[in-house]
Amino acid sequence: MALAETVLRKIHKLGLIPKIIKFLPLCSFLLAVSSILYLISLPMDGNYRNTYISENALMPAQVTSYFRESEWNIVRGYRESITKLSDQDVSSRNKILESWLEQLGLTTSYHVNGFANDTLYAIMHAPRGENTEAMALVVPWATSEGKYNSGAMALAMGLARYFTRMSIWSKNIVFVFPPDSRKSLRSWVDAYHTDLDETAGSIEAAVVLEYDETLGDYFEFIDMFYHGLNGQFPNLDLLNTANVINYHENIKVSIEGIDNKNIDYTTRLLTLVKGIISSCLTGLTQENTNGCEEFSGWQIQAITLRARTKDKGEEHRDITQLGRVVDGTFRSVNNLLEKFHQSFFFYLLMSSKNFISIGTYLPAAVILAVSLAISALSAILSIDRNEAISNLSFILRTFTYVEIVCLGLALSIPKLVATSEGDQVSAVSLLVLSSLGFLSVGSIFFKKRLSKTITFSLISLSLLLISLLITALLIVHFSLALMIGILVLPLTFVPTLMNQFTGQDFKDKAYIGTIICLIVSNPFFVVLTAGNVLGNGSDLFEGLVLAWNDLQCWTWLVVILGWFPCWIVITGCFMFYKIDIDELLKKKLQ
Partner 1 sequence: MVLLTGLILSLLVQVTIATQFYKEHLNLKPYPRNKLLTGFDFNIESQPFELSYYNVSATTGEIAHHYTHFPSSLGPIIESTNTRELHLRFTQGWWDAQSWGKLPHDGLFSGGTGVEVVAVIEAPDIAIAQQHWSRLTKILSGFFCASLNFIDNDSTTYPKHLTKKIGGYAPEQGNKLFLLRAALPSEPVCTENLTPFLRLLPTRGKSGISTLLDGHKVFDSLWHGMSIDVVTSCEDNGLCSLQLHQTINQMVDIIRSIRKQTEGGIPKPTPGDKLRCDTSKTYNVWQCFPLGDPTEIDWSLQTIYGRKIIGSAFEDGDRETSSISVDFDPAAWEVTFMKDAPNSLVHRSLSDSKDVHVSEFLHENANYDLKFETKSSTNVLPIVAPPLYASRSLTGYSLDKGGLRVSFANPSDKPVTFVYFESTPWFMRLYFNDLKLSLKNQDGEADVTANQEEYIQNRYYRPAIDRTRPSQMELKITIPANSSLAMTYSFDKSLLLYHEYPPDANHGFDIEPAVITILEDDKATYEFRTTSLLLTLPTPDFSMPYNVIILTCTVLSLAFGIVFNLLTKQVVTEEEFEKVSANTKAAKIKRQVKYRIYQVKQILGI
Q: Is there binding between residue 435 and partner 1 (CB under 8 A)?
A: no
Out of 105, 216, 408, 503, the residue judged to bind partner 1 by CB under 8 A: 105
Residue 461: which residues within 8 A CB-CB, separation 6 or more? Answer: 376, 395, 399, 569
Q: What is the DSSP string of 340-386?
A: S-SS-SSEEESSSSEEEEHHHHHHHHHHHHHHHHHHHHHHHHTS-HH
Decide if 119 contacts 192 (C-beta within 8 A).
Answer: no
Contact set for partner 1, span 51-80 (CB under 8 A): 66-74, 76-78, 80
Q: Is there binding between residue 110 and partner 1 (CB under 8 A)?
A: no
User: In whole angstroms, how close is the CB of 226 to partner 1 at the nearest point?
Assistant: 19
Q: Is there binding between residue 162 and partner 1 (CB under 8 A)?
A: yes
Out of 34, 47, 54, 81, the residue judged to bind partner 1 by CB under 8 A: 81
Decide if 228 contacts 292 (C-beta within 8 A).
Answer: yes
Q: Which of 276, 219, 273 is nearest to 246 (CA)?
A: 219
Nearer of residues 143 and 321 to partner 1, judged by Cβ: 321
Q: Is there binding between residue 421 and partner 1 (CB under 8 A)?
A: no
Decide if 201 contacts 133 (C-beta within 8 A).
Answer: yes
Cβ-based burial of 405 (10 A; exposed 0-12, middle 13-18, buried ≥19): middle
Q: Sheet with 347-349: list strands edge to edge.
A: 49-50, 354-357, 347-349
Point out which span in 161-169, 227-235, 245-253, 431-439 binds partner 1 (CB under 8 A): 161-169
Contact set for partner 1, span 213-252 (CB under 8 A): none
- Beta-strand relationship, 172-177 and 133-138: parallel
Point out which span in 40-48, 125-133, 360-368, 503-511 binds partner 1 (CB under 8 A): 125-133
Q: Which of 585, 559, 581 is nearest to 413 (CA)?
A: 559
Q: Which of 280, 234, 224 is nearest to 479 (CA)?
A: 280
Q: How far apart are CA 565 and CA 559, in angstroms?
A: 9
User: In whole angstroms, how close is the CB of 323 to partner 1 at the nearest point?
Assistant: 12
On the CB side of 315, CA atoms within 13 Å amount to 13
Nearer of residues 9 and 310 to partner 1, judged by Cβ: 9
Out of 199, 460, 492, 555, the residue judged to bind partner 1 by CB under 8 A: 199
User: In whole angstroms, how close is the CB of 408 to partner 1 at the nearest point?
Assistant: 28
Out of 107, 286, 434, 502, the residue judged to bind partner 1 by CB under 8 A: 107
Q: Is there binding between residue 582 and partner 1 (CB under 8 A)?
A: no
Site map (CB under 8 A) of partner 1, residues 306-345, x = contact: -------------------------------xxx-x----
Nearer of residues 2 and 533 to partner 1, judged by Cβ: 2
Q: Is there binding between residue 442 and partner 1 (CB under 8 A)?
A: no
CA–CA–CA angle 296, 243, 273 (5° rounding): 65
Q: Which of 174, 183, 232 is nearest to 207 (CA)?
A: 174
CA–CA–CA angle 46, 51, 57 (5° rounding): 145
Q: Is there binding between residue 197 and partner 1 (CB under 8 A)?
A: yes
Nearer of residues 73 and 435 to partner 1, judged by Cβ: 73
Nearer of residues 101 and 469 to partner 1, judged by Cβ: 101
Q: Which residues bind partner 1 (CB under 8 A)?
A: 1, 9, 66-74, 76-78, 80-81, 103-105, 107, 125-133, 161-162, 165-167, 193-199, 201-202, 297-299, 337-339, 341
